[in-house]
Structure 1
Amino acid sequence: MVNNRKIIMDCDPGHDDAIALIIAGAETSPLDIVAVTTVAGNQSVDKNTRNALNVLDIMQRGDIPVSTGADRPLIKESAFAESIHGETGLDGPQLPKNPKLKATGNHGVKVIVDEVLNSDEPITIVATGPLTNVAMALIQEPKIAENIQEIVIMGGGTFGNWTPTAEFNIWVDGEAAKKVFNSGVPVVVFGLDVTHQLLGNDTIIERFNQINNPVSQFVVELLKFFKSTYKEQFDMDGGPIHDACTILYLLNPKIFTLQHTYIQIENQSPLTYGTMSVDLNHTYHQEPNAHFATAVDIELAWNTMEKALRSYPSL
């Protein structure tokens, strides 16, 4: 167990991003969220910022600052995942259009740079959306690489969900992803290979429904909506809690099996743009640059998430 690890959550909430925030900021969590930065991805960056503020308000964590980051990829045009997350980016629960909490007014990229440079200990960046903000921070101030403990990402995999070979987060900004994987910073990857093993099905929804506090009930609403869109779009019996895997790993690394491997991002071909090349068989004979999750202890993962949800106060 890692104690009191400082993290920056760079996200595009998003149902699974919201769940990741909730378990990271729980009473039982040893993680210190020093900043939340938002990026265009599941929806526009403004909608994602609104969603982050609303989620933190539900968590009663107004102490965590939220800053709006990049509103588009480095090179490509923006693309959103309305078919999965809805028009608001967080469809399902009824959330205010004008959150009680407010964003800082500082740009998310500047926040990442300043927090990492000024921290007296290495910071972990948890990136659960496109990697635009993280790449821009590394470009603007390369020195931050020296004080980043890890970049823990949800993205990629050995197959795709947005194209046959590309996962959405990597596909949205392949140039940014390439920059991150070539940065020399330790990277831990939770791709579709492992996230599709953790499905929020009816059994899990009912299990969390029994907790019966406002935060757990919010998560139940998120899982119900996510389950419906994954059934419609992919004929899957439950919504994968993709982004929450990053936090589950930080809470208990034993939940996952990781392989140290060489990963590169393909961004040249229109046919395979955003594909993550994961060299699990070491065919390139290159020095590994990432740890890639291949398996998950499913029951331990749900138990860890349930413990976090139960730590929130009841009405």
Structure 2
Amino acid sequence: MISTERDTMNTPHRVILDTDIGSDVDDLMALVLLLGTPSVELVGVTTVYGDTALRARLAHRVLGMAGAGVPVHAGVREPLSGREVWWAGHEGALYPDLEAETYDSDEAVRYLVDTVLAAPGEIDVIAIGPLTNIAAALTAEPRFAESVRHLWVMGGDFADGTPEHNLRSDAVAARIVFDSGMPITITGLEVTRRIDIRAEQLERIAQAGELGELIRAEIEQWWAFWDETWNVPHDPVTVLTLVAPDLFEVTAPGHVEIGDGEREGCSTHSPGEGRTRVVTTLDVDAVGERIVAGIVDATDARPSEGE
């Protein structure tokens, strides 16, 4: 079971979501899940990796559909490692007139630093894309590491060491983050892959209004991209490590090392010196249900016309 100080308090979790929304549908699902979780105050959204302006417009559109007035800031486009950005090509395709959508700034790193330092120990950051923005914030302001309440990361594979997209996409940034000394909980593929969205769950989501229909369309787009009908909600699982810690178990704190060369992006965890915990297991049925219920609740909470 994950234990954090705020778990026993009534204070909402104040959260910034750092995301590469637009490629895999799971970023969209994570954003909507946060909006459907009463214990979360979504303070802001920052985008990372590739066309971050497009990603910011997309996030802003979704927040508007949900009636949520949350600031969105576009961040660093290119990995610190120099690795080429992977781009699926369908990003934003389901959003009419997306080029007309506005967002708050192109200064995600400055936003992260200013917001966290203004409320030290109060802001959780959930990072569900490459860690470029987080590394840039640490480089710009070393106090960022001690001021973040906790960093929650989707990334890695701690079972067989397979390179995982988020860490491999910017291994340099990942090393900066895991060497920073900030408190981190990371959820790897060996855990997230235990969850899938089944047909009956997808139908429940799709019936939950405009946002639900959008998620189904994004899932079907993702299926078409891979020519397979499967979907693993990696990022929503990571959200739940913060908001439903009783559904997970973790290692003792230690250090995560990120491989280079032929092992670029591979991750290993060494218990002992360090402040990073790795999620080891989860309640499969309960986690799947919480994801679906949270997404449905986000749509149910959307303001009606005229409110």
Shared fold (TM-score, shorter chain, > 0.5): yes
Distance in 1 (alpha carbons) for counterparts of 2:219 and 2:259: 33
In structure 2, the partner of 1:241 is 233
User: Is the aligned partner of 1:133 residue 2:133?
Assistant: yes
Are the equivalent residues in 1 in contact too, given 2:34–2:239 (CA < 8 A)?
Answer: yes
In structure 2, the partner of 1:144 is 144
| Structure 2 residue corresponding to 1:304, chosen from 279, 282, 290 | 290
| Structure 1 residue corresponding to 2:267, chosen from 254, 270, 276 | 276
After TM superposition, list the pairs within 5 Å mapping 1:82-97 onto structure 2. 82=88, 87-90=89-92, 93-97=94-98
Distance in 1 (alpha carbons) for counterparts of 2:56 and 2:192: 24
What SS is found at the alignment partner of 1:303?
A: helix
Q: Post-superposition shift, 1:36?
A: 0.7
Segment of structure 1 superposing worse, 297-306 or 110-119: 297-306
Q: Post-superposition shift, 1:106?
A: 4.6
Q: Post-superposition shift, 1:205?
A: 1.4
In structure 1, the partner of 2:250 is 258
| Structure 2 residue corresponding to 1:21, chosen from 4, 7, 31 | 31
Are the equivalent residues in 1 in contact too, given 2:174–2:258 (CA < 8 A)?
Answer: no
Structure 1: tracts of 5 or more residues without a match = none
In structure 2, the partner of 1:67 is 73
- Equivalent AA in structure 2 for residue 169 of structure 1: N
Q: Post-superposition shift, 1:37?
A: 0.7
- Equivalent AA in structure 2 for residue 139 of structure 1: T
| Structure 2 residue corresponding to 1:174, chosen from 168, 171, 177 | 171
What is the alpha-carbon root mean square deviation over aligned residues? 2.3
Distance in 1 (alpha carbons) for counterparts of 2:253 and 2:273: 8
Distance in 1 (alpha carbons) for counterparts of 2:278 and 2:31: 22
Distance in 1 (alpha carbons) for counterparts of 2:67 and 2:100: 13
Spell out, residue by residue over 1:74-95, the C-alpha distance to the aligned partner (whole angstroms, 9 max, x if none).
Answer: 131332141xxxx13255x444
Note closer, same or farther for the CA distance 1:240–1:249 as it changes in structure 2 (3 Å cut): same
TM-score by length of 1: 0.84
What SS is found at the alignment partner of 2:234?
A: coil
Fraction of identical pairs, as percent: 25
Q: Post-superposition shift, 1:97?
A: 2.3
What SS is found at the alignment partner of 1:215?
A: helix
Q: Post-superposition shift, 1:199?
A: 1.1
TM-score by length of 2: 0.86
User: Is the aligned partner of 1:45 residue 2:52?
Assistant: yes
Are the equivalent residues in 1 in contact too, given 2:47–2:75 (CA < 8 A)?
Answer: yes
In structure 1, the partner of 2:17 is 9
What SS is found at the alignment partner of 2:42?
A: strand
In structure 1, the partner of 2:82 is 76
Structure 2: tracts of 5 or more residues without a match = 1-6
Q: How many pairs align? A: 291
